[in-house]
Amino acid sequence: MDNRRVLVTGADGFIGSHLVELLVRAGYDTRAFVMYNSFNSWGWLDQLPNDIKHNIEVISGDIRDPHGVASAMKGCDVVLHLAALIAIPFSYHSPDSYVATNVAGTLNVLQAARRLNTRRILSTSTSEVYGTAQFVPITEDHPVNAQSPYAATKIAADQLSLAFHKSFGTPVSVIRPFNTYGPRQSARAIIPTIITQIAAGKRKIKLGALHPTRDFTFVADTVQGFVQAMECDKCVGQITNIGSGFEISIKDTVGLIADCMGVEIEVISDHERVRPAGSEVERLFAGVDKARHLFGWAPEHGSVKGFAKGISKTVEWFQNPSNLAAFRTSSYTV
């Protein structure tokens, strides 16, 4: 894949911006597809160092527009498709928008890939498609069980991707990251929610359920997994988990963050942040043997010790006043 042109959809987002940065530093000819807006904002790409920004081609558009997607993909050898709506609470409120973005948007990428003979497509899934673990660690053979409209649309997108591979030979790989965290993540996610409240001086922290467990993966490891999967021919037509291979409860995560930030806190249950009973995913714990076998997956921040290292890096970034200023810590937004 050396010296090939790579397009990243959703490049303005949390994971997408880190992926763009890694691709440029690795020497790839990188094109970034960002959501069009009247502010001419490139999202998190605006915060990248100048040596990175000067080496990317940015195209503004809308993943829901098939013409714009095909135009952005023209001339690209590889498409890393990350563009999606991801906030679970908002999917309860506006499920139609998730179908349009996550399902129809993925279809737009797949249809364009057929017409353009794109050499490789990487479609981004999520561990939420598994629902609460029926066995652990969760392998790629685990049944899918959508417990939110968001998860349902991601299952649909995954199945479309695999169907295009089986029906038309479209060279699609599905990568399924578990709970990615790190700098630039939305404050809607659990780890930034905790950090930003503490960094803003609060000692009574509002959260939802504390008992669920998650397999948290530092963003630098996640994007490294994307690049490894992109370069792996054996991943084509396959679903591959990307995770750290351990689980930790939200309660213990809160304690680890508080210790890292040197504070004592009290957790207050906020009903606005609690998922409907049938929608809460109680347990996620990634099985990563397949990724290890296919492309030597070995996350730098794996295990609880590695998680603490990743949390420290994340806290350091959010505690920077200029970074913290980008988040509304005084209000909760779905």
pLDDT in tens, 280-299: 999 999 999 999 999 999 99
Sign of CA dihedral 253, 331, 280, 204: positive
- Bridge partners (DSSP) listed for residue 213: 249, 283
130 within some domain: yes
Alpha carbons within 13 angstroms on the beta-carbon side of residue 169 total 3
* Same domain, residue pair 229 and 289: no
* Contact by Cβ (8 Å): 57, 102: no
Element (H, E) at 30: strand 29-35
Q: Residue 291 maps to which CATH number?
A: 3.90.25.10
Q: How far is CA 106 from CA 37, 71, 109, in A?
A: 21, 15, 5
332 within some domain: no
Residue type, 61: G
49 within some domain: yes
* Same domain, residue pair 200 and 295: yes
The tens digit of pLDDT for each residue in 64-99 reads 999 999 999 999 999 999 999 999 999 999 999 999
- What is the pTM (predicted TM-score) of this model? 0.96
Tokens 């392998």 locate to 139
The tens digit of pLDDT for each residue in 198-214 reads 999 999 999 989 999 99
* Same domain, residue pair 74 and 205: no
* Same domain, residue pair 61 and 152: yes
Average pLDDT over residues 310-324: 96
* Same domain, residue pair 76 and 130: yes
* Same domain, residue pair 206 and 224: no
* Same domain, residue pair 151 and 284: no
Per the structure, the complete domain to which residue 174 belongs is given by: 5-181+219-242
Q: How many CB atoms lie within 10 A of CB 132?
A: 13
* Contact by Cβ (8 Å): 79, 7: yes
52 within some domain: yes
Q: Inform me whether the pLDDT recorded for 120 exceeds 80.
A: yes
Average pLDDT over residues 122-130: 98
- How many structural domains is the chain composed of? 2
